[in-house]
Chains A and B, each alone.
Chain A
């Protein structure tokens, strides 16, 4: 039941988007943060074969079944997290980046991230003055169960709250900022450890950017309706 094949005709030069029928899983092994259970991962593989050519392209990614919710707690003003319906006590650490000369390697990421998991952390916060972390970073967070809070590239100091106050309207090119954001979201969005996108560090992005980010990142209406259906059920 975890295999589906679909015939498709694609016109010459066309760029299309295709959605598979949903694949059903009964009692899947769920992905849990460090300290709450196993980080069960499934390998999802997509291939496309073309008549008269054979296999034309393939793609694969480790995927974890989990549902992450978070909301601001009115009593404390803090953000509360739930994973698979269970509240999580967040033991988080700041993450700037692996190396100031960007000598980023799988080996280094594995060591750094396992180190944090061994210290009993269950979240890493990628600070807005650093980088959008790389797929290899997220891969090991998937494996070791570290939830990731990923900030976009806005900081209070450089974007309107520093001394001297500078760039109150953020970067010069907002379209470029949104293009980079959208491409980064596509690069990282399938990792089960990705728990939260955050506009910036100690600063809200300029209104147009903030509105666009919120709009791009809200749950697709299809899944919104699904979750409402679920509640109805």
Chain B
């Protein structure tokens, strides 16, 4: 039985350039998983970007030193596929009867295809959106799961004019993504435009009912002597029967000094 709660998937990731992998996502997560960091696979930094992973493996010079950034090929010259990368990991998760599990990506730049144990899901475009997949039914019966994510760069990475400038040729503004990556008056362009699984990946195990995005608002009266905490939450019953729930909200304060709450 898996423990209720969130588990981050932030270790043991591998990465490879998509043009150097001749397998499909289905094969990678069923019959032909990568066995370890042997070419074209390398250890990956997740969360992080493609360039962060390449730097971690010393495959590019550190763009933060001297003019090293000039030595890294820009996506405008290499083409988007050069910075389109596979990320791969495995995780253990075995559920009991009425447990459910979500695979969450808190942010991906810019779009991706997710393969889990041979099943494909598409993560739509957008650098600033969360993705949550209910993977309860596609977990491997033996608990050992294989996950591969093919991450694509922004649709409009743009080209940096010889004179540079704020936002390069501004093409990046066509996408919903960070714009500084084409360079600004205070910084050089980021060669992969920050492509990657740039924020946390996690599994969240729940029972039949899941809590989503509570909203907390306070209101004040009598010169802040009287205050109210208003709380709204979304709840989802993912079972096939009516869920009789007990919903609790509790507010505790951090304690001053060495006072303990018993």
Residues of A within 8 A of B (CB): 2-20, 22-30, 40-59, 61, 63, 65-67, 84-85, 96-97, 100-104, 127-132, 134, 153, 155, 157-159, 162-164, 166-167, 170-173, 176-177, 179-181, 183-184, 186-187, 189-190, 220, 222-223, 226-227, 230, 233
Nearest-neighbour CB distance to chain A for B33, whole angstroms, equals: 27
Contact B244 A9 (CB under 8 A): yes
Contact A158 B216 (CB under 8 A): no
**Counting chain A CB atoms within 10 Å of each CB, which of B64, B98, B169, B172 scores highest?**
B172
Chain B 165-179 near chain A by CB (<8 Å), digits 1 or 0 = 111011111111111
Residues A43 and B247 in contact in the complex (CB < 8 Å), given A61-B216, A102-B47: no
What chain A residues lie within 8 Å of B51 (beta carbons)?
101
Contact A157 B126 (CB under 8 A): no
Report the separation of the CA atoms of residues A18 and B51 in the bound assembly, to the nearest whole angstrom: 43
Number of interface residues of B (CB under 8 A): 92
Report the separation of the CA atoms of residues A2 and B252 in the bound assembly, to the nearest whole angstrom: 7
Residues A158 and B172 in contact in the complex (CB < 8 Å), given A42-B252, A56-B4, A223-B217: yes
Q: Is B214 an interface residue (CB 8 A)?
A: yes
Residues A44 and B173 in contact in the complex (CB < 8 Å), given A10-B235, A57-B207, A179-B126: no
Report the separation of the CA atoms of residues A24 and B218 in the bound assembly, to the nearest whole angstrom: 10
Nearest-neighbour CB distance to chain B for A168, whole angstroms, equals: 10
Report the separation of the CA atoms of residues A222 and B215 in the bound assembly, to the nearest whole angstrom: 14
Q: Is B240 an interface residue (CB 8 A)?
A: yes
Q: Is B258 an interface residue (CB 8 A)?
A: no
A selection of 17 A-B contacts at a CB cut-off of 8 Å is: A6-B247, A7-B244, A12-B239, A18-B233, A23-B251, A40-B254, A57-B206, A57-B209, A57-B210, A84-B220, A103-B52, A104-B47, A130-B180, A157-B167, A158-B172, A180-B129, A187-B106
Find the B residue at minimum CB distance from A172.
B174
Contacts A53-B208, A153-B176 known; 7 new A-B pairs at CB < 8 A: A12-B239, A13-B240, A41-B254, A42-B252, A48-B246, A53-B98, A184-B128
Contact A163 B165 (CB under 8 A): yes
Contact A101 B244 (CB under 8 A): no
